[in-house]
Structure formats: structure tokens, C-alpha cells
A and B are shown apart, each in its own frame.
Chain A
Amino acid sequence: MLEYSEKVIEEFMNPKNMGKIEDADGIGKVGNPVCGDVMWIYIKVKDNRIVDIKFQTFGCVAAIATSSKVTQLVMGKTVEEALRITNKAVAEALDGLPPIKMHCSLLAEEGIKAAIEDYMKKQKHKKNKKGGKK
């Protein structure tokens, strides 16, 4: 098997924030074109802060570990802060990934970004609707 850091294995064995948010404010569904793996991220946002976040991942050990890690890194952050998260930061928080597994951490970065984009789109939509009623 590949050489993973202890933190990666630990994260994989005990993933946090796994699951689904039924009334999510934003959902990010991303796929990894390199290997075909898939990650879904759900967020709840309140006063511009991420107050809840969950993931579902079909992927390798690294994909699951980075999913779990990224949800912890952005929990409680503002939307702007969360958008600045990079796959490198996620990998570093896990003491690195084997080179051929770096692409797996891209899912984590893209998943968060897609969820926030979805959230923003929905916000705009809501505003427009409100505006329309006036």
C-alpha cells in the first residue's frame, strides 16, 4: 500500500463531519477527472459564516482523509476565508500526501468552492425574488 502519514490514516479511520445536511444552504458536487472519484459537500451558512458542514466521498483513503480535514478547516470560517482554502493547505494539515495522491486533495478544495458558489447563487436568487415582490 502507499505510504501515508500517520495523520492521513488517523483521519481516514476517524473521519469527522461525514454525512448529509438535509436543508443545506449550499451543495458542492465535484468529481476528479483523473481517477473518477467524487465528493459532495453540504454547508449551512449563518451571518456569512459556515456553521455546519458535511461531506460524502466516493474515493480513496486520501480523498476521505482530505474531505474530513477540509470540513474541519473551514468550519466556523467566513465565506471569504473558506474560499481561500487550498488543496496544499489541506494536504499540509495532514503532514502531506504521497505525490501521486496530491490530486486527491483537489477534490477537497473544489468541493468547498463549489458548495460556496452554490450558496451564493441561491442567495442571489432569493434576493432577486424578494426584489421582484416589492
Chain B
Amino acid sequence: MKEIYLDYNATTPVDPRVVEAMIPYLKEHFHNPSSVYSGAKETKKAIEEAREKIASLIGASPKEIIFTGGGSEADNHAIKGVAFAFQEKGKHIITSSIEHHAVLHACQFLEKIGFEVTYLPVDKYGIVHPHSLRKAIRDDTILVTIMMANNEIGTIEPIKELAEVTHEKNVLFHTDAVQAVGKIPVNVKELGVDLLSLSAHKFYGPKGVGALYIRRGVKIHPLIHGGGQERGRRAGTENVAGIVGAGKAAEIAMEEMEEEERKIRPLRDRLERELVKRIPEVIVNGHPEKRLYNTLNICVKYIEGEGMLALLDFYGISASSGSACTSGSLEPSHVLLAIGLPHEIAHGSLRFSFGKYNTDEDVDKVIEVLPGIVERLRAMSPFWREKHEH
């Protein structure tokens, strides 16, 4: 059975052109970029070319980009790096309650070692409001970190406004743009951010490679100490093939992003429309407009996400859920709780996230099978029966 992959926010398949670009750096160009012989020149040059491509994707200058081992490392670097560099000035950090765990858990770690963190609430669409940020900034605030687009519900935050408010008080602003970069236009200068995280595997690049944008002049400590790679900011022999792949993926994203949106948005919109029409009591999560064009997050009332995922999987459809039962933590998604959903509704969440290899047939298939799956599980649900038999 052919898999229908609808989980592009989790990860994307590597674009075949990216694979092609990477192969020479796994084969003949294996040299350590820090070495002095001529063979190493090619690997060094390849890294710098990739850096230019990443920089130009987000409107930065190449010197402002450092490569990391993924989005989580970039987030950790930004947050801990600023915290350690500015702890003399203050120990207060502001973030939101819907961040990825890479940000939330880094903040919680800092709390354990004496920092204070404010977790800003969001509205029912998942938006962080600039006025609530303004009220939270204190004299000892050293960093504000708010994601650009949420991975679960797709809501796009007003980063430009949030960064402005932050800068009024002379505080640094970081954004986790892992879900935004490669999908929508991102320009660090226009947004006015000081730090930005991205990850290649979310835009058809390899896993385990990301980058952190550090605006020129921003003081930050390294996260990984060792050799002098990345101008002393991130030690360790570079993941050359991965970095080349990230660069190639950035180049493709630059050229094809608009075309992808034109193709993907109608697929997502049609799925949303049809599911809402065909399945009673479904809630669509996230902001109606300020939302990633590829993301559809719904809650199907009276049933639970894991069962739906298992049955979808039976038909070859790969999706995800913010239900407790699938997370391993037994708590439903913190994002769904933060937008105000009660536990039992958050349990019934399903996320479909589209990408450039999806087709109309994929949407047809979900529309065909999901209503039946829901009916089947609802037939077992005490809540559904209670509501509809009396």
C-alpha cells in the first residue's frame, strides 16, 4: 500500500536534488574542513556556499549564520547562550505557553538554576499579544523568545510587533522559526529579530542540521565548547554533507516557495472544508487566516486521537495527534490546553500537515475514510451515545 504522508510538520522527505548535492561530500569530498591540504579547501568552500544560501533565504548576512545540529540545538543555543552571557544584567526570560519543547524545556532548565521565566498566555487562536508582552517585560528581562509559527496548530505570531515591543525596552528577541523557514517568506531584517532558529529537515533538507541566526553585535555564549569551528561559536567538525544539503534545500525553497504555497494551500483548504462538512462536531484549531497554509489541526469531539491515528494508519495515512495517549506524557498537548480547549476535547485532536509531494488524491482518500473512522469510534464512545441517544 502506498503511504499517504500528511505529517510534513514532523519532518519532510529529502528532496532528491538535495540528496544529489550531498553525495559528493559523503564520498570524494570527505576532508575535514579545518585541515590545511588542498582536499580540505573544497569542503570548506562548500560550507561557506551553504552558509550564503541559508543567509539569503532569511535575509541575513553569511557571517550571522552558524550551523547547528538541528532546530533544538539552535533554540538551546539562543536561550542558554543569551542567559549565560547576560546573567549579570538580569535573570528574567519571557516566552509563550505554546512553544516547542526545545524552547520550553530549555527555559525550565534555566529556572532550575536560578533564572525566572514568564510564560505568556495566548488567545483562543494561539496568538501572543504584544500588549501582554509589554506588561511582562521587567528591568531584569534579558531575552524574549517567541516562535514564529506553531508546529501543532500552524498559528503565525506577530513577530515584527513583538520584536518592536521587546526592543523598546532594550531586550534581545529570539524566534524559533523552525516551522516557518522554507514555508513562508522570512526576513530577519524586516522582522527585526536578534536571533532566529531554523531546521533543514522541515524544508526537504536532511535531519540533524539547523542554523542559528545571530545578528551582528549580539553577545552570546557558545553552547558547545571545543575547537574553533563556526568562528568559535559552535565547536565540532562540521557535518559537511548535512550542511551542503541544508544549503541546497534553502536554495530550492527560495525558488519554489511561492509555487508550493499555490499548490498546497488549496489541498489543505479542501480537506478542511470537506471534513467540517462531513463530520459533525469538529473544531478547527489555530487562527483562521494567520496560519501556515499547510497545517490543519482539528478536534473531533467525543473520541480520542490515538484510535483515529491507528485506523488512519491502517489505510496507509500518516498523520499526528496532540492527544495525551500518543505523547508518552499522558497529558494532552500543552498547545491545545493553552488555547483553552478542555482535556477531553484536546484528546480528540488530529493534525494533517501537507507538503509538496501531496496530491488531490491524498485529500480524496482522507475524505473517504475519516468519516467512517470517526463513526466507528464514536459508536464506542459513552459520551457520543449519551449526547445523541437522548
A residues with a Cβ closer than 8 A to B are 1-2, 9, 12-13, 15, 18-20, 29, 34-40, 55-64, 100, 103
Contacts and interface: CB of A to CB of B under 8 A. Distances in A.
Contacts of B381: 56-58
Interface of B: 302-304, 306-307, 309-311, 313-314, 323-326, 328, 330, 343-344, 347, 379-383, 385
Given A1-B313, A15-B380, A34-B330, A61 B347 contact: no
A56 B389 CA distance: 14
A93 B390 CA distance: 36
Contacts of A1: 306, 309-310, 313, 326
A58 B383 contact: yes
Nearest to A60: B325
A34 B331 CA distance: 8
B383 to A, nearest CB: 6
Contact of A13 (B306, B314, B324, B330): B314
A8 to B, nearest CB: 10
B380 A61 contact: no
Contacts of A35: 324-325, 330
Q: Chain A at the B interface: mostly helix, strand, loop or mixed?
A: mixed
Contacts of B323: 60
10 contacts: A2-B326, A9-B310, A13-B314, A34-B330, A38-B383, A40-B382, A60-B304, A60-B307, A61-B307, A61-B310
Contact of B304 (A34, A55, A58): A58
Contacts of A18: 379-380
Most buried by B among A1, A20, A59, A60: A60
Contacts, number: 71
Q: Chain B at the A interface: mostly helix, strand, loop or mixed?
A: helix
A100 B380 CA distance: 23
A57 B380 contact: yes
Nearest to B324: A35
Contact of A56 (B309, B313, B380): B380
A82 to B, nearest CB: 21
A15 B304 CA distance: 16
Most buried by A among B303, B347, B380, B382: B380
Given A58-B381, A59-B307, 12 more contacts: A13-B311, A13-B314, A20-B385, A29-B382, A36-B324, A36-B347, A56-B380, A58-B382, A59-B325, A63-B304, A64-B307, A103-B330
A100 B383 contact: no
Most buried by A among B304, B311, B381, B383: B304
A64 B302 CA distance: 14
Contacts of B303: 58
A9 B303 CA distance: 17
Contacts of A13: 311, 314
A68 B203 CA distance: 43
Given A9-B310, A13-B314, A37-B304, A61 B325 contact: yes
A115 B328 CA distance: 30
Nearest to A100: B328
Nearest to B321: A1
A35 B326 CA distance: 11
B344 A36 contact: yes
A38 B386 CA distance: 13
A42 to B, nearest CB: 10
Most buried by B among A1, A18, A38: A1
A19 B382 CA distance: 9
Contacts of A36: 324, 343-344, 347
A58 B310 contact: no
Nearest to A9: B310
